């Protein structure tokens, strides 16, 4: 299945989009942005065979710009008959103080998407288990992911779909590179440890700046994270700053880095588990 957008679709009239875009800007710049993001989502789905065997997806919705953007783009593709799967949005209310509980249910109802709001007080667990001054992200993420897997099973979904984008993938790579001593990142497609669910990241090719512009134009009701978002000096923030500095000084490096992750050559690395260096032999010239 080839999902790349045809050139003619870039010139298609604006009425060929989901009604949730009815109040979106009609400017040329916004239309180009929306279509670029749609192209990238469809290309990721094609490159990593995300639709193979899929019938129903659980979309993890945090209330941040990335997951809002993911949901809007998937709904647009579904509405146009280009995404033959059922979608159900899910927010895990983790019990954070002052969390505006009404925002997501009201928004999801207004755009007509099936959804589930689940309450689990993981906030108290994280605050209890993580020492003062340490970062909350790892434990918070594990608890959230475990609950989302459970909900996906209960809803009869084949996959959990997340809003991680290009910068998330690059930042994770460099965190593993600098701090974990390994070459690894967030893959666009993987199977969970239990082997019964796919985890998909259709925004793998999408730039964070583009998603921020898209969210602002769409006026999504953003909900900030008051847990990990309130901590300074996280390793991920350091990686983000480093990548931003590199991109400023050498534009286009992020795209080059992302391409590099898809063009590995095991014989030119140092891992004997990936390449059998012991079998290398020279051929003598007679």
Q: 158 near 87, Cβ under 8 Å?
A: no
119 domain-assigned: yes
Integer Cα distance of 214 and 218 in angstroms:
6
Rounded to the nearest 10 degrees, the angle between the axes of helix 253-261 and helix 235-249 is 120
**pLDDT for residue 138:** 66
**pLDDT for residue 278:** 94
**pLDDT for residue 9:** 44
Q: In Å, what is the CA distance from 173 to each residue of 40, 67, 166, 177, 239? A: 20, 21, 11, 6, 9
**pLDDT for residue 4:** 40
Which stretches in the chain have pLDDT values below 50? 1-14, 229-233
How many other C-beta atoms lie within 10 A of the C-beta of residue 11?
Answer: 9
Beta carbons within 8 Å of 119's beta carbon, 6+ residues apart:
93, 95
What is the secondary structure of 132-192 as a DSSP string?
TTS--HHHHHHHHHHHHHHHHHHTT-SEEE----HHHHHHHHHHIIIIISS-----SEEE-
Q: Report the side by side order of strands in the sheet with 56-60.
A: 115-119, 86-93, 56-60, 159-161, 198-200, 189-191
197 domain-assigned: yes
**pLDDT for residue 7:** 37
Integer Cα distance of 73 and 265 in angstroms:
34
**pLDDT for residue 197:** 95
286 domain-assigned: no
How many other C-beta atoms lie within 10 A of the C-beta of residue 265?
Answer: 8
pLDDT tens-digit readout, 106-139: 999 999 999 999 887 766 666 666 666 666 666 6
Task: Determine phi and psi for 200, rounding to 5 degrees.
Answer: -120, 145
Residue 80: give the domain boundaries: 10-279
Total of domains in the chain? 1
**pLDDT for residue 2:** 37
**pLDDT for residue 176:** 93
Q: What is the CATH number of the domain that holds 237?
A: 3.40.50.620
**Helix H or strand E segment including 244:** helix 235-249
5 domain-assigned: no
2 domain-assigned: no
Rounded to the nearest 10 degrees, the angle between the axes of helix 253-261 and helix 166-175 is 70
Helix, strand or coil for residue 108? Answer: helix
285 domain-assigned: no
């Amino acid at each position: 299945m080839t999902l790349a957008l045809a050139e003619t679709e870039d010139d298609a009239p604006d009425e060929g989009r989901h009604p949730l875009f009815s109040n979106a800007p009609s400017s040329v710049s916004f239309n180009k942005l929306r279509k670029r993001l749609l192209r990238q989502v469809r290309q990721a789905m094609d490159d990593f065979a995300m639709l193979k065997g899929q019938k129903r997806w659980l979309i993890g919705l945090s209330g941040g710009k990335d997951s809002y953007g993911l949901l809007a783009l998937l709904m647009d593709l579904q509405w146009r008959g280009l995404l033959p799967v059922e979608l159900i949005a899910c927010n895990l209310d983790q019990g954070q103080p002052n969390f505006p509980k009404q925002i997501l249910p009201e928004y999801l109802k207004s755009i007509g998407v099936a959804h589930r709001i689940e309450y689990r007080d993981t906030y108290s667990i994280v605050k209890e288990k993580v020492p003062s001054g340490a970062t909350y992200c790892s434990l918070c993420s594990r608890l959230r992911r475990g609950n989302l897997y459970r909900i996906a099973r209960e809803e009869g979904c084949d996959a959990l779909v997340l809003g991680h984008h290009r910068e998330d993938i690059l930042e994770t790579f460099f965190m593993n590179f600098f701090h974990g001593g390994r070459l690894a990142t967030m893959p666009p497609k993987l199977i969970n440890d239990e082997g019964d669910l796919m985890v998909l990241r259709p925004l793998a090719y999408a730039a964070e700046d583009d998603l921020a512009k898209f969210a602002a134009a769409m006026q999504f009701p953003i909900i900030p994270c008051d847990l990990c978002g309130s901590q300074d000096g996280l390793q991920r923030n350091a990686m983000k700053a480093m990548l931003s500095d590199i991109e400023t000084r050498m534009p286009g490096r992020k795209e080059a880095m992302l391409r590099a992750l898809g063009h590995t050559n095991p014989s030119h690395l140092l891992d004997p588990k990936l390449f059998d260096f012991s079998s290398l032999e020279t051929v003598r010239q007679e």
